């Protein structure tokens, strides 16, 4: 069995740097901050770690210290080689599943990690990288902890099941509940921000579950979004479309240039260089091409599109954001198909 004898499923977030999150996914590691503490190795009891954090952050109130020191201790001293770990990759909407493959390391020479404040690291062997929508809502709620380090033991079997069927690689009493990383009195702004991000993520998950792997049905969603942008759209027939699924015109009669030719991928598999080259071959010099995927683009795809000013790549999170931004401009029947309700969150 993949994680035989293991009972702890770790969840690690890298929420403040998209660049580091993507690098962690690609290079095989997890990392956390709290750089002011320094090397965590010598703080090998909870009491030592609490005192180290109080010394490193003298302005923090006791509630914030209590909400944080346990995470750091567990990352450095309780997490073990071979333990399963999930890492929600915020920039792409994926979840990486892996097993811890290295002991705790204090980063001393990696300038990018030091500059971003992520100086505490562990190597991880990623086993699968899958869309969030592969998981149950209960698991996603658990993985959505506002803590940098938490556990989700109740969902270990679900993680194992997804990992074994996937073909896509691309604390004690002092610990707080996974949904309460910070003391509300100390960090009310952070709590409000977390609630806002949670609402956005719930909406994204709902939309992606509705659209993913729906083929031609998603092409009509794309067409509706471009109509909300002010274009006249046409969904092409399934055959003989040369890879073009939607054509958008800037005028009602479809006479004025430029034509926008859109290729749509509703699957979750990574989209590579061949698909980009197919689109490039179908787009004339005075036209624009857009490739939309509900998965992600490979580095080869991004390289193929780079330098071509008339080719645009739109991945899942960007398209969801566009749909939400334009929601009130969508035709009523499309709002009825995907009912969303505006939620107000205080900013101050």
Q: Identify the pLDDT of residue 171.
A: 35
Q: Identify the pLDDT of residue 285.
A: 85
Name the residue range of residue 105's domain. Answer: 10-186
Provide DSSP, 120-163: EEEEEEEEEEEEGGGS-HHHHHHHT-SSSEEE-GGGHHHHHHHH
Q: Which CATH number covers residue 317?
A: 3.40.1350.10
Q: Is residue 81 part of a domain?
A: yes
Domain edge (last residue) among 186, 201, 231: 186
Q: How deeply is 7 buried, as exposed, middle or buried, from its count of CB atoms within 10 A (0-12, 13-18, 19+)? A: exposed
Q: Is residue 345 part of a domain?
A: no
Are 178 and 223 part of one and the same domain? no
pLDDT tens for the chain, 348 residues: list them: 578 788 999 999 998 899 999 999 999 999 999 999 999 999 999 999 999 999 999 999 998 999 899 999 999 999 999 999 999 998 888 999 999 999 999 999 999 999 999 999 999 999 999 988 889 988 988 888 778 999 999 999 999 999 887 544 443 333 333 333 344 344 555 555 556 677 777 888 889 989 999 999 999 999 999 999 999 999 998 765 568 999 999 888 877 777 899 999 999 888 999 999 999 999 998 899 999 999 889 999 999 999 888 999 999 989 999 999 999 999 999 999 999 987 776 655
Measured distance CA(288)–CA(261) in Å, rounded: 6
Are 120 and 231 part of one and the same domain? no
Q: Is residue 203 part of a domain?
A: no
Q: Identify the pLDDT of residue 185.
A: 41
Are 20 and 135 part of one and the same domain? yes
Q: Which CATH number covers residue 39?
A: 3.10.590
Q: Is residue 165 part of a domain?
A: yes
Report the number of distinct structural domains present in the chain: 2
Domain edge (last residue) among 147, 170, 186: 186
Are 130 and 219 part of one and the same domain? no
Phi, psi (deg, nearest 5) at residue 337: -70, -35
Domain edge (last residue) among 186, 202, 223: 186
Q: Is residue 73 part of a domain?
A: yes
Measured distance CA(16)–CA(80) in Å, rounded: 25
Are 172 and 215 part of one and the same domain? no
List C-alpha distances in Å: 199 to 19, 63, 85, 184, 345. 23, 25, 24, 18, 10
Are 48 and 91 part of one and the same domain? yes
Question: Do the Cβ atoms of 232 and 252 come closer than 8 Å?
Answer: yes
Are 251 and 179 part of one and the same domain? no
- Cβ neighbours around 285 below 10 Å, total: 6
Q: Is residue 92 part of a domain?
A: yes
Q: Is residue 348 part of a domain?
A: no
Are 290 and 331 part of one and the same domain? yes
Residue in this structure with the two tokens 């604390």, named with its chain if needed: 171
Measured distance CA(268)–CA(324) in Å, rounded: 20
Are 180 and 234 part of one and the same domain? no
């Amino acid at each position: 069995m993949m994680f035989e004898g293991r009972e702890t499923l770790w969840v690690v977030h890298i929420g403040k740097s998209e660049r580091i999150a993507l690098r962690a996914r690609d290079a095989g590691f997890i990392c956390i901050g709290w750089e002011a503490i320094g090397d965590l190795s010598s703080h090998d009891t909870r009491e030592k770690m609490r005192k180290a954090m109080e010394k490193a952050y003298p302005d923090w109130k006791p509630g914030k210290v209590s909400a944080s020191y346990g995470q750091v201790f567990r990352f450095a001293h309780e997490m073990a080689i071979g333990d399963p770990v999930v890492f929600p990759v915020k920039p792409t909407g994926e979840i990486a599943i892996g097993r811890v493959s290295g002991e705790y390391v204090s980063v001393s020479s990696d300038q990018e990690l030091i500059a971003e404040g992520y100086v505490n690291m562990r190597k991880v062997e990623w086993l699968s990288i899958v869309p969030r929508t592969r998981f149950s809502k209960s698991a996603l709620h658990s993985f959505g902890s506002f803590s940098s380090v938490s556990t989700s033991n109740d969902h270990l079997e679900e993680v194992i099941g997804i990992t074994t069927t996937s073909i896509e690689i691309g604390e004690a009493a002092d610990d707080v509940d996974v949904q309460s990383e910070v003391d509300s009195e100390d960090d009310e702004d952070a709590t409000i921000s977390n609630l806002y991000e949670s609402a956005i993520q719930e909406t994204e998950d709902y939309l992606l579950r509705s659209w993913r792997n729906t083929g031609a049905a998603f092409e009509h969603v794309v067409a509706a979004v471009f109509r909300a942008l002010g274009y006249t759209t046409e969904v092409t027939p399934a055959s003989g479309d040369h890879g073009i699924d939607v054509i958008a015109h800037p005028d009602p009669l479809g006479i004025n240039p430029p034509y926008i030719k859109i290729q749509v991928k509703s699957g979750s598999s990574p989209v590579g260089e061949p698909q980009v080259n197919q689109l490039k071959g179908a787009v004339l010099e005075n036209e624009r091409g857009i490739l939309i995927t509900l998965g992600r683009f490979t580095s080869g795809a991004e390289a193929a599109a780079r330098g071509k000013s008339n080719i645009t790549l739109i991945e899942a999170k960007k398209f969801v954001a566009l749909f939400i931004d334009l929601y009130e401009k969508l035709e009523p029947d499309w709002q009825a198909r995907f009912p969303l309700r505006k939620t107000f969150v205080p900013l101050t």
